Amino acid sequence: MTVSIVDYGVGNLAGCVAAFTRIGVKSIVTNEKSDILNSRAIILPGVGSFDAAAENLVSFGVRDVLLEFAESGKPVLGICLGMQLMLDRSEEGKLAGLGFVQGETVKLSSAESAKVPHMGLERVTPSEEFEKTLPTISDKFYFMHSYFCKVYDEGVSVAYSNHGENRFVSAFKKNNVVGVQFHPEKSGDVGDRFLKGFVGLV
């Protein structure tokens, strides 16, 4: 079985494929229902605005498939905007997210020492609960974002990062659903180790 990287018109698809190739895991880029449902795990990448991406989930015919796959209990990984789409809603737009995790996204606070968008390497510090399931996460990863996730769901394990006065959730895990604000596919060896840890959930 393969890992499916969901194509809905946004996201660093080629970078994700290259990352899985580096760690020796077969992956495909697809938006076909049968491909996705038969995968061992799926990746939901994302770059851009929340509403445009939410619209694309519907227009590409993958929103309901993602909901069905998540209910199967197999691992789902959302990256950057893909993570944000896993929440209920976003301050950036008006459309609904997937609702895998209760929460919303809000804009980062800008300061002289902390420009927005936040770009570059930043340390990720996992909670004890998160570290039990994905112990490879405590390191510096590459970020590129203007919004961050506020998680209201108490059944979620999280990791945090800082950017100026902003302390934000940089990763979460709820059962089989994992979201990361950083880009593991752009984070070198530590990103590859994280992806190996994620695939190990299967």
Is 183 assigned a catalytic role? yes
Q: Which of 118, 145, 163, 183 is catalytic?
A: 183
Residue 149 annotated in active site: no
What does the DSSP assignment read for 149-172? EEE--TT-EEEEEEETTEEEEEEE
- 31: three-class secondary structure by DSSP: coil
Of the residues 80, 92, 104, 145, only one is catalytic, namely 80
Residues 122, 182: Cα–Cα separation, whole Å? 9
| Run of H or E residues at 43 | strand 41-44
Catalytic (active site) residue 185 = yes
Cα distance between residue 198 and residue 133, in whole Å? 9
Spatial separation of the C-alpha atoms in residues 85 and 100, rounded to whole Å = 9
Active-site position among 92, 145, 163, 185: 185
Catalytic positions:
80, 183, 185
